[in-house]
A and B are shown apart, each in its own frame.
Chain A
Amino acid sequence: MNSDRRRAYWRANTSLIRNLLIVWGFVSLGCSILLVKPLNNIFIGKLPFGFWMAQQGSIYVFVILIFIYAVQMDKIDRKYKNRD
């Protein structure tokens, strides 16, 4: 694999990671801690939304993020692998 393709692969990889981490930070540190008070005025079921995000929602998002990462990396790997 030449160095241009390797750099392109690494760029694709790091921008995927960056985008997923932005979502990660937004749901956990953002919605569940920094914005919890305003969000608690909205309700999901019988629970205040900020509280629900902190104790349920963010965990669901975390699981989904890792599987998105694994599947997307498979795609990126296929694109760059064994085609020199």
Chain B
Amino acid sequence: MSVEAWTTLFVILSFIGYTYIGWRSRVRDSKGFFIADQGIPAIANGAATAADWMSAASFISMAGLISTLGYDGSIYLMGWTGGFVLLALLLAPYLRKFGKYTVPDFVGDRYYSNVARLVAVVAAIFISLTYVAGQMRGVGIVFSRFLQVDVETGVIIGMVIVGFFAVLGGMKGITWTQVAQYSVLIVAYLIPAFAIAWILTDNPIPQLAFTFSDIVPKLNQIQVDLGFSEYTQPFANKSMLDVLFITIALMVGTAGLPHVIVRFYTVPNPRAARYSAGWALLFIALLYTTAPSIASFARYNLIDSLHNKTIEEVQQLDWATKWKNTELLKYEDKNGNGRLELTPDEETSEVTIDRDIIVLSTPEVAQLSPLVIALVAAGGLAAALSTASGLLLVISSSIAHDVYYRLYNPQASESQRVMVGRIMVGFAIAIAGYFGMYPPGFVAQVVAFAFGLAAASFFPVILLGIFDKRTNREGAISGMIVGLTFTAFYIIGVKFYNMPTWFFDISPEGIGTVGMILNFIVTFVVSRLTPPPPLEIQEMVDMLRSPEDAPPALGDIGEEQLD
């Protein structure tokens, strides 16, 4: 069978699986729709969190970024995993104890303010939309290469599938499909990694092959010969300060991402929240410690099979021709000497490789069987779809729960609330689909923005909400506005209006760290200049900090009675 046939088979089989699970876990009430009845076991929630959070960017783009950046690619590895430590230690157990439906719920209740709730809603939607755009682009890339359809058609197929299980099953449907999607994506990632490690180094464990084989030293040598800096050379592309700031922004952003935080509302108690954060990071680490091995193997392999080859030789490589059709791989004999030469200078380099194709093309470059190649395509789709569904639920619950129910119509019945939630999922899918067809930037870069914005808005208010009783409404609102405005201004200015990177040359990906620090300072100072929070809020914070499992009484009673 051909790659295309296998791909179609795997994609159809996995989609049938997701749809079946979505149908099995369909829900009627809002607790099921928004937080899966709080009945998800810790280990399953860990797998769902891993799938939810490992996006198309992690699966498709990350190894490619590391492959081109070498050491400097570590910002993504450490940034995206280190955040889970912050999340597990500082936020997840307390938010679970708080026990409501969304992040804006916590912000609104803790800061006794609908203005704070609204600012949090705007931030949540802004972050989720930025992020979901990248996911849909990922779906488009996978489809356009492997099913040989155009990107638009691919995006629409993806939209229909996500829509089906998200509209029907809400958080419950999403959770169990994400568990299935984690299994698909990790198998799809590890099998080719094992195979390539085996072929290149005779050691099938990628982590060990990466550390103990001589691929990386050889790659270092090739890079130097071609005029690049050594692969393991730190700060070849970015300054140390920039690397530091980007890493912190990604860490703190991970801890503040609303679709990740909301996953911790779905477990039975704070203890389960702590363990599920551990399981989540363990499941993520399986992929994240494999990615740097794939990155170095792929770079070695690509240079080895393209550099200094004649056009005729390259044209005989089936994968090279297919990727050339998507225009993600380009080669041209510019100086007419009959050979392709890879150089650090974009002007003279005769081969350009889009970073997004490294993972997807690796199995083909290493000449693995079509079955494995198709599996990778299904894995990439699983990664993109699971994250997209988590984000769509955040967008829909932000509007349906926080705006419609908490602000606009507190008398709304159960069925009205779920209905609005479902309509909002549909609405969000349409917007996400539009971004998928007309993407604002390439996958990983867009996702990095969402992290910066999450770092600059949510993390400080949630952290201070738990750990500093004196933080009040006025502080939280001004802090979020300052953090969000500054970060968005810098990113948009540098990215779209050619603003110089005037803040110590920090790139837009790292500016969230500065936004976060500004947020902390503003929140802290404004809180001390204005009256302390009311007594019942201070008691609520005390309850969050106590070891008993019972959720805080405040607010909860009213809501249950309304139901």
A interface with B by C-beta (< 8 Å): 1, 6, 9-10, 13-14, 17, 20-21, 24, 28-29, 32-34, 36-37, 40, 44-48, 50-52, 54-56, 58-60, 62-63, 65-67, 69-70, 73-74, 76-77, 80-81
Contact = CB atoms under 8 A, between A and B. Distances in A.
A14 to B, nearest CB: 8
Q: Which residue, B74, B84, B251, has most C-beta atoms of chain A within 10 A? A: B74
Contact of B240 (A28, A34, A45): A34
Interface of B: 66, 71, 73-74, 77-78, 81-82, 84-86, 88-90, 93, 207, 210-214, 216-217, 232, 234, 240, 243-244, 247-248, 251, 271, 274-275, 277-278, 281-282, 285, 288-289, 292, 467, 542, 545-548
A16 B220 CA distance: 41
14 contacts: A6-B546, A10-B545, A20-B89, A24-B82, A24-B86, A28-B247, A36-B71, A40-B232, A51-B71, A51-B232, A60-B289, A62-B84, A66-B85, A80-B547
Given A37-B234, A45-B212, A74-B271, A55 B74 contact: yes
A43 to B, nearest CB: 10
Across the A-B interface, give the 9 residue pairs with the lowest CB-CB distance, nearest first: A54-B74, A45-B211, A66-B278, A55-B292, A70-B274, A45-B212, A51-B232, A66-B88, A67-B278
A37 to B, nearest CB: 6
Contacts of A81: 547-548
Nearest to A61: B85
Contacts of A80: 547
Contacts of B88: 66, 69-70
Contacts, number: 131
Which secondary structure dominates where chain A touches chain B? Answer: helix
Given A32-B74, A63-B281, A6 B545 contact: yes
A76 B546 CA distance: 11
B240 A55 contact: no
B110 to A, nearest CB: 17
Contacts of A51: 71, 74, 232, 234
Contact of A46 (B73, B212, B289): B212
Given A17-B90, A33-B244, A62-B84, A47 B289 contact: no
B211 A62 contact: no
Contacts of A73: 93, 271, 274
Contact of A59 (B78, B240, B274, B278): B78
Given A69-B89, A73-B274, A29 B248 contact: yes
Nearest to B73: A55
Contact of B234 (A10, A36, A58, A63): A36
A13 B270 CA distance: 14
A60 B213 CA distance: 20
A46 B217 CA distance: 7
